[in-house]
Amino acid sequence: MLEIEPLLLVVDDDRVTRLTITKVLTKAGYRVIDADDGLQAQQQIALHQPEMVLMDVMMPNMDGYSACREIRTRYDHQALPVLMLTGLNEMESIDKAFESGATDFITKPINWTLLTQRVRYALRTKAMGNALIRNQERLSQAQRIAKLGYWEIDILSGRVHCSDELYWVLGMETSTEVGELSSFLSLVVDEDRDEVESAIKIACESGGAFELEYRIRRADGEVITVQQQGQVNYSADGKAESLLGTVQDISERKAAEALIEYQAFYDSLTDLPNRRLFGDHLSHAISLAHQQHRQLAVLFVGLDRFKVVNDTLGHAAGDQLLCELAQRLKSLVRDGVTVARFGADVFAVLFEGLDAETDISSCASSMIEQMASTVTIREQEFFTSSSIGIAIFPHDGNSGEELLKAADTAMFRAKEMGGQQYQYFTADMNLKAQHRLKIEIELRKALERDEFQLFYQPQIDARTRRLVSMEALIRWNHPERGMISPLDFIPIAEESGLIVPIGEWVIRTACRQTMEWNRKYGLNLRVGVNLSGRQFTQPDLIEMVDDVLQKSGLPNHCLDLEVTESVAMDDIDSCIATLRQFKEMGIYSSMDDFGTGYSSLSYLQRMPLHTLKIDRAFVKDIGKNGENGEIARAIVAMAHSLGMNVIAEGVETEEQLQFLSAQGCDVIQGFYISKPLDVISFERGLKSLAA
């Protein structure tokens, strides 16, 4: 950077003095401008901003003192040094010069060597002063960013001095005099004051350092948390002189810490304790119950069909429902009973210190009753119900883990029984749960070990009685247990997610087999494949089906995908969208087990389905004890009015077949025609048809 020589202003009404000074200073390496009175000096300063002024005292228009005062008021700080040129040894004028704000003086007649020295030192002092101010400013700014201030107590007098930054942290005007230690202590909140006072006292007496966190009420009433570090300063002869304490506002950090802690132990949606906190409470309660030989109860409260709300109304509405139910549950129990959110749609309740009087059953019933009311979300009414599982300590488990598992198992059982009820845990449930687990483990291996097999059940045209299609039904050929019905393992596969790979295997195998038979026997058979809920919501379902059809070579219209009502109702809109895509691809779709679920006619109308399969329940009694098949008749009529075909399932007698075909039922499936057959038997049938 180019060094520019400092610019000086020389003010004197005597032209000769002015010129001489200018000459001397220019020679010494400065740039010089001049003015011949105080007024002109002001203009020069405004125009050129010199770094120093050399000023004569006696001048017309405005004398040196007034000019100096003017500079100080206008350009405030000491930043602009003013060197007064006074008469020799005129003490009075020297005093006056300093009073008007002069930095230094030099007596006339001027000693020229001294003048240059004085100027040089004045400029150097100014530079040092500037650097100091800059440092202080930076330090102060850094302290403000860190919300840090300090106080200092004079140990002898007890007087307190506070830094500007501390006033700022405290939200007080800088001029506010804290003065006494007691005034500072009065700002500390009541609960923390004694601790702060004694820490300061001990430090003053013992000369040690201390560190402390406490709360202060700011001038605006806000309470902040500060961190205090204190340390004693000693005089040269080793005497404790003062105690210096830094005070830092750490409220933001504290708030963040509190939030993190809250999130670790509470559910942010419902504000209830979370699983972790519940677990902590439970272990604590168990050790207490153990000591006092008392019982406690863990209840798992699961919402029935919560997924339906979530899927049909969206997650925001689902969240709102959860909050509403959490509040309700909380209001149902007395204080001291822990209610937590344990899973997405499961709450856990802990009843401690049970005695003979506590009636858990009636608590559970009233919970079920209260939770089973209608809630209104976005002007839509929802019927909610819940299922409760109950586990008792020490009867059902000795540890938290055992009790939680028992309550979960019991809740699962309550749901299995149709929901909206409570179940106590029983040892028998444990066996069932173990059995499930065992099946799940074995299911995982079954696919690799090729233990699955497809059976095919023929479906015939009701009028011509010719074979038109068949339904593929899975069997598990277990190495020890023999043939296992899908009813026993599909729900487990569904829950564990294993249904996805198993289901894909079913479609592949069924399509490949059907194509092979069609080709071999010149047929155009369609195969029905059951799709489970889990499979139906797979994002790549369409691609998977498309890929299977491509690879097997089976025409799209030869595949019929069966879904049940509950699958469709779980998420109606996306179900409709998926079915529509299948329809566009020319793939058939059927509503399986129709009449057993709870789908309404209005939904059915919107579903792009080809076929309704009347559930066996409406077929099995036809012809028995005067049962006239009214429901089956109505379903056939309704399906036809919606442009759908009808398949009757579970037809076991000629009478049923006659009746159903008289009603216009299109296709018949059931033991009367044939049981589901393994590949060899089915093919034997095809051969005989071809013969």
Using CB distances below 5 to 8 A depending on partner kind, what does residue 303 bind out of Mg ion, ligand C2E, none? none
Q: Are 138 and 148 in contact (CB under 8 A)?
A: no
Q: What, of Mg ion, ligand C2E, none, does residue 590 touch, CB below 5 to 8 Å by kind?
A: none
R_g of the chain computed on alpha carbons: 47
Q: SS3 letters for 378-439?
A: CCEEEECCEEEEEEEECCCCCCHHHHHHHHHHHHHHHHHCCCCCEEECCHHHHHHHHHHHHH
3-state secondary structure of 481: coil
In the complex, least distance from residue 526 CB atom to ligand C2E, rounded to whole angstroms: 15
Among 352, 504, 570, 593, binds Mg ion (CB under 5 A): 593
Q: Which helix (H) or strand (E) is 22 found in, with range?
A: helix 15-27
- The least CB distance from residue 270 to Mg ion, in Å, is 40
Nearest distance, CB of residue 513 and ligand C2E, angstroms: 13
| Residue 642 beta carbon to ligand C2E: minimum distance, rounded to whole angstroms | 21
Closest approach of ligand C2E to the CB of residue 467, in Å: 15
CA distances from 179 to 148, 151, 175, 644 (A): 19, 10, 11, 92
Q: Per residue, what are the HEC states of 627-691?
A: CCCHHHHHHHHHHHHCCCEEEECCCCCHHHHHHHHHCCCCEEECCCCCCCECHHHHHHHHHHHHC
Q: Which does 56 bind (CB under 5 to 8 A by kind): ligand C2E, Mg ion, none?
A: none
Q: Considering the complex, state which of residue 318 and residue 676 has its C-beta at the smaller distance from ligand C2E.
A: 676
Per-position b or e across 297-328, b if 16+ CB within 10 A of its CB: bbbbbbbbbbebbbbbbeeebbebbbebbbee
For ligand C2E, give the closer residue by CB, 24 or 657: 657
Q: How far is the CB of 574 from ligand C2E (least distance, A)?
A: 18
The single-letter code of the amino acid at 687 is K
Smallest separation (angstroms) from ligand C2E to the CB of 302 = 24
Q: Residue 34 binds which entry of ligand C2E, Mg ion, none, with Cβ cut-offs from 5 to 8 Å by kind?
A: none
Closest approach of ligand C2E to the CB of residue 597, in Å: 12
Q: How far is the CB of 564 from ligand C2E (least distance, A)?
A: 7
Question: What is the distance between the alpha carbons of residues 668 and 32, in angstroms, rounded to a whole number?
Answer: 117
- Nearest CB to ligand C2E, comparing residues 31 and 534: 534
442 contacts Mg ion (rule: CB under 5 A): no
Residue whose CB is less far from ligand C2E, 349 or 473: 473
Only one residue has tokens 């049962």, namely 627
Of 190, 215, 191, 212, nearest in space to 201 by CA? 212
Minimal distance in Å, beta carbon 499 to ligand C2E? 6
Output 81 or 670, the one with its CB closest to ligand C2E: 670
Residue 643 one-letter amino acid: G
Mapped onto helix, strand or coil, the DSSP state of residue 140 is helix
Angle at 49 (CA atoms; ends 44, 54), nearest 5 degrees: 65
Nearest approach in angstroms of CB 419 to ligand C2E is: 20
Alpha helices, DSSP H only, in 242-378? 251-265, 275-292, 306-313, 315-332, 360-371
Backbone angles phi, psi at 85, to 5 degrees: -100, 100
70 binds Mg ion (CB under 5 A): no
Task: Give 176's DSSP letter.
Answer: -
Q: Is 562 in the site for Mg ion (CB under 5 A)?
A: yes
Burial class (CB in 10 A: 0-12, 13-18, 19+), 77: exposed
Nearer to ligand C2E, 169 or 529 (CB): 529
Residue 592 binds to Mg ion (criterion: CB under 5 A): yes
Q: C-beta of 546: minimal distance to Mg ion in Å?
A: 22
Binders of Mg ion among 336-365, rule CB under 5 A?
none
SS3 300: strand
Nearer to ligand C2E, 282 or 460 (CB): 460
Closest approach of Cβ 489 to ligand C2E, in Å? Answer: 9
**CB closer to Mg ion out of 149 and 528:** 528
Whichever of 423 and 532 has its CB closer to ligand C2E, that residue is 532
Name which of Mg ion, ligand C2E, none residue 486 binds, using a CB cut-off of 5 to 8 Å depending on partner kind.
Answer: ligand C2E
Min dist. Cβ of residue 301 to ligand C2E (A): 30
Per-residue x/- mask for Mg ion, residues 618 to 657, rule CB under 5 A? -------------------------------x--------
Can you list the pairs that 443-447 forms with residues at least 24 positions away whose Cβ atoms lie under 8 Å? Answer: 443/476, 443/489, 443/492, 443/493, 443/496, 443/498, 443/502, 444/498, 446/476, 446/478, 447/498, 447/501, 447/502, 447/505
- Measured from the CB atom, the residue of 91 and 487 that comes closer to ligand C2E is 487
**C-alpha–C-alpha distance, residues 371 and 363, integer Å:** 12
- Whose Cβ is closer to ligand C2E: residue 103's or residue 590's? 590
272 neighbors 266 (Cβ within 8 angstroms): yes
**Cα(256)–Cα(263) distance, integer angstroms:** 10
Residues 471 to 530 in contact with Mg ion, rule: CB under 5 A: 530
Q: Which is nearer to ligand C2E, 170 or 472 (CB)?
A: 472
Which residues, including other chains, have CB under 8 Å from residue 639's CB and lie 6 or more apart?
A: 612, 645, 646
Whose Cβ is closer to Mg ion: residue 387's or residue 530's? 530
Question: Which one, 246 or 611, has the nearer CB to ligand C2E?
Answer: 611
Q: Could you give the dihedral angle defined by the CA atoms of residues 600, 638, 575 and 563, in that order, rounded to the nearest 10 degrees?
A: 100
Closer CB to Mg ion, residue 56 or residue 562?
Answer: 562
- Cα four-point dihedral sign 533, 538, 542, 548: negative
Mark out the alpha helices in 423-498 (DSSP H runs). 427-446, 486-496
Q: Please list, in sequence order, all residues whose beta carbon lies within 8 angstroms of the beta carbon of residue 379, skipping any fewer than 6 positions away.
A: none
Q: Write out the residues near ligand C2E by the rule CB under 6 A.
A: 457, 473-474, 485-487, 490, 503, 506, 530, 532, 562, 592-593, 616, 649-652, 669-671, 676
Q: How many whole angstroms separate alpha carbon 198 and alpha carbon 181?
A: 12
What does the alpha-carbon distance between residue 565 and residue 610 come to, in Å, rounded to a whole number? 14
Strands 667-669 and 452-461: antiparallel
676 binds, among ligand C2E, Mg ion, none (CB under 5 to 8 A by kind): ligand C2E
Give me the least distance between CB of 253 and ligand C2E, in Å please. Answer: 54
Q: Is 565 in the site for Mg ion (CB under 5 A)?
A: no
Residues that bind Mg ion (CB under 5 A): 530, 562, 592-593, 649
